Each structure stands twice: as structure tokens, then as C-alpha cells.
Amino acid sequence: MFNFFKHNRWLVAIMGTIYMVVLGTVYSWSFFQKPIVDTYGWTNSGVAWVFSTNILFLGLSAAWSGINLPRFGSSKLALIGITLYGAGFMLGGLALKAHSLPFLILGFGVIGGAGIGMGYVTPVVSASKWFPDKQGFVTGMVVMGFGFGALLMSKVIAPEVLKITDGDMVKAFFMIGAIILIPGLLSALFIKQPPDVKSASKQSEEVEQITPRKALLSSKFMMMWLVFFVNITAGIMFISFQSPLMQDLWSRFRPGSDLFQLAAVGGTLIAVSSLFNGAGRLFWGGLSDRIGRIETFRIILGSEILVFITLLFVSNPYVFAILVCYVLLCYGGGFGTIPAFVREVFPGRLMSVVYGALLTAWSAGGVLGPQIVGFMKDNYPENASTYAFVAGTILLTIGFIITLLLNNKPIQQNIPGKIIR
């Protein structure tokens, strides 16, 4: 079996990318946000907790999976993960049938999110080990699939399913859960890791002696976590609410637009921005191979600051859409660059542990980002976007300052004459 994968490592990367496309359908949540709010009469911030909880448990589960990946193996974790994600959609259907927001949070949020996190780590770590010579590009390609998932859901799966079910959200959630299981389970079977081999570019002996605990308590890890968290929070503010925000702008730009027109405009933005989210993972990941990981993050955060400031003065929905797409390009870039950054800074044997732990930044950003926008929309509907963009600008500025304190050098062990940094 290994010989087959040895000569077909690209198959592992391609099937890992397909698997990530399936998991990435979660990014189309804003497609369901407004219909659920309108149908069930729940608040924006209340329904946003479904997505926030999903991302929270995604990150927590990813941290657990990173630690336990060597024990269970890539395929087994990937199979369990996609099964839980599909079950999360189906449980979400039951919750909608029962008109229970807490049950929706439990089903799609907790169980679905845990499934995504369990599966997310496996193709990234596997691809990283198969391609030590193309770290940024290949891991960027694999996580690119996650960014494209929203396009698949918002423009293909969800609209067709809603047509078939005549707009019945309960039946739609059940059908979607079943649909995503088919390609998810099949692709999971091909996610394998190569046997442990020593890297040609050996790190120093003291680096190899670093324990997981020391790595996770190092200042370098903490700063990487904060930079990743800031970029995630900025992007996820739009992922969770880009459709409602676009619809608000469009209704003022084109008074008299009906609900179907507004939904189409919002869905189109989700689809287009997901392309940028996916492309950003490949583009920035590949660029980081050439200019360096932290240099890439400096460009990402610095340019996002300018975009968020510009958004404060934008009222044209077309300009808004262009800027959202750029933010999502940068958002994806963080995910495309961070795996190679981890592999470069920390010993290879700690890749799954450190990378999984870093994904808890996704949990934190997944809670904070949607809640910032949801809170503003519920309490300051006329100025919600302005206040949210100010908050985003502040966060991005803090993140950019932190990047100035980071570098690409491998972490060093706390032994005589050496300190972890």
C-alpha cells in the first residue's frame, strides 16, 4: 500500500483537497443565516451562535486531533470527522423541526464543528509530510479546498436542495447532510501519511529535544497564535455576515428589491468571495515559499488594515463586494501560510500537535468575529457595519505590530546557552 502512495503522493494531496472542499461547505453559513432568522424569529446574534459554536468546537477538536493523530491515523480520524459533520446537518434539521435554537447549536454547532476539526488536521499534516519540498504550495492547495466549499454549497448544493424541498429548511438540512457524506467518506480513504523518515535538512539536536509542552508555552507559539487569531477574526466577520451586510447595502442602493433578489445578491457574494478565500490559500502559501512566512503575514495584515479603513466610507455594494473579496483572499492566505510556518519553526515530529493547537485561534476568532457583527446589527442597526469595521481595524493593527516581533528562525531549546523564543 505504501508503494502505491509513494509513487502517487499527488493523489493524497488531491483527495485531501476534495475532502477539504466538503468540510469547507460550513463557510456558507451566512446563506442560511437570514432565512433562519426570518423564518423562526430568532435574533441575528442568537443564530450567529450556531456558526460561532461550530468554529469554537472545530478549533478545540482540531487541537485534540493534532495530539491523537499518531494514535488513530489519518484515515480513521478523517472518516470519523466527516461522519460527525454530516450528522451535525441532520441534527440541525431535527432542531429546526422542533423550533429549538439550543438544539441547533448543539447539533450543527457542537457535533458538526467537532467533526470538521477532527477531519481538518489530517489532510494538512499528511500533505505536509508527503511534500517536504513544496510546503507552502501543497498545504496551500489542500486548504484551498476548504475555501472553495462555500462556493459549492451556496451556488450548487443549497439552491438545488431548496428547490427540491420547496424551501423546507428541515428537509434541506437532512438532504445536505446525506449529500456531503458521499464524497467526504470516499476521499477520506485516501488520506494517508508516509512512514516516519528523517528529514534531509536536519534541525539541530537541541531543537529535536523540544517537548510539546515547551513548544506550546514558547513566546513564539503565543505570538503566532495571536497573529493567526487576528487574521481569522477579521475574515470571519465577513464569512458569517457577508450576505446580510450585502443585502442591507443593496436594499439602499436599489430600493424596492424583493427578498429573492436580495438573497441572490447575497448568495453571489458568498460564491465569489469563496473563490478568493480558496485562491488566497494557494497564492499566499506559494508566495511564502519565496519571500518568507512572517513577511507574508506582514503584507496580509498591513493591507487588510487599509481595506478596513476604506470600508468605513463605502456605501456602494460593488465596491463593498470587491473589498470583501480581498479580505477573504487574505483570510485564506493565513490558513495557506501557517502550516508551512509551523513546519519551519518547530520540529517536524511536533507538526500535528502545534498545528492543532494553533487552530484554537480559529475557535476564538469564530466566536468573536460573528458576535461583533451580530451584536452591532441587533443593537446599532444603522451603524453596525461602521462599528464592526472600527473593531476590525484595531485588531488588525495589534496583529501587525506582533508580526514585527516575529521571525522565521527555528525555535531553540531551553538548554545551557539556549532559550526558547
Least confident of 3-12, 151-160, 227-236, 409-418: 409-418
Has this prediction a pTM greater than 0.75? yes
User: Which range, 155-159, 253-257, 310-314, is most confident?
Assistant: 310-314
DSSP class of residue 8 equals -
Question: Rg of the chain over CA atoms, in angstroms?
Answer: 21
Grid cell of 127 as nine digits: 500533505
Judged against a pLDDT cut of 80, whether residue 362 lies above it is answered with: yes
Q: What is the pLDDT of residues 21-59, one digit of tens each?
A: 999 999 788 788 878 888 898 988 788 889 889 988 998
Segment 382-400 shows an average pLDDT of 88
Judged against a pLDDT cut of 90, whether residue 183 lies above it is answered with: yes
| Continuous segment of H or E residues that includes residue 341 | helix 317-345
Give residue 208's pLDDT band: very low, low, confident or very high (50, 70, 90). Answer: low
DSSP states of 50-91: HHHHHHHHHHHHHHHHHHHHHHH-HHHHHHHHHHHHHHHHHH
Judged against a pLDDT cut of 50, whether residue 378 lies above it is answered with: yes
Nearest to 374 by CA among 364, 361, 384, 389: 384
> Does residue 150 contact residue 93 with C-beta atoms inside 8 Å?
no
Segment 71-88 shows an average pLDDT of 94
Give residue 196's pLDDT band: very low, low, confident or very high (50, 70, 90). Answer: low
Mean pLDDT of the chain: 86
> Does residue 137 contact residue 130 with C-beta atoms inside 8 Å?
no
CATH of the domain spanning 2-193+204-403: 1.20.1250.20
> Does residue 269 contact residue 324 with C-beta atoms inside 8 Å?
yes
Q: What is the pLDDT of residues 122-147, one digit of tens each?
A: 998 888 888 877 777 888 888 888 87
Nearest to 356 by CA among 25, 11, 72, 51: 72
Segment 390-418 shows an average pLDDT of 82
Q: What is the pLDDT of residues 292-349, one digit of tens each?
A: 999 999 999 999 999 999 998 988 989 999 999 999 999 999 998 998 899 889 987 8
Domain boundaries, the chain: 2-193+204-403
Give residue 415's pLDDT band: very low, low, confident or very high (50, 70, 90). Answer: very low
What does the pLDDT read at residue 199? 45
User: Which range, 108-122, 129-143, 363-377, is most confident?
Assistant: 108-122
Q: Is 192 left (phi over 0), alpha (psi -120 to 50) or beta?
A: beta
What does the pLDDT read at residue 412? 67
Cβ-based burial of 71 (10 A; exposed 0-12, middle 13-18, buried ≥19): exposed
The sign one gets for the Cα dihedral 270, 289, 139, 408 is negative
Segment 91-111 shows an average pLDDT of 95
Chain-centroid distance of CA 81 in Å reads 15
Question: Which residue has better confidence, 78 or 209?
Answer: 78
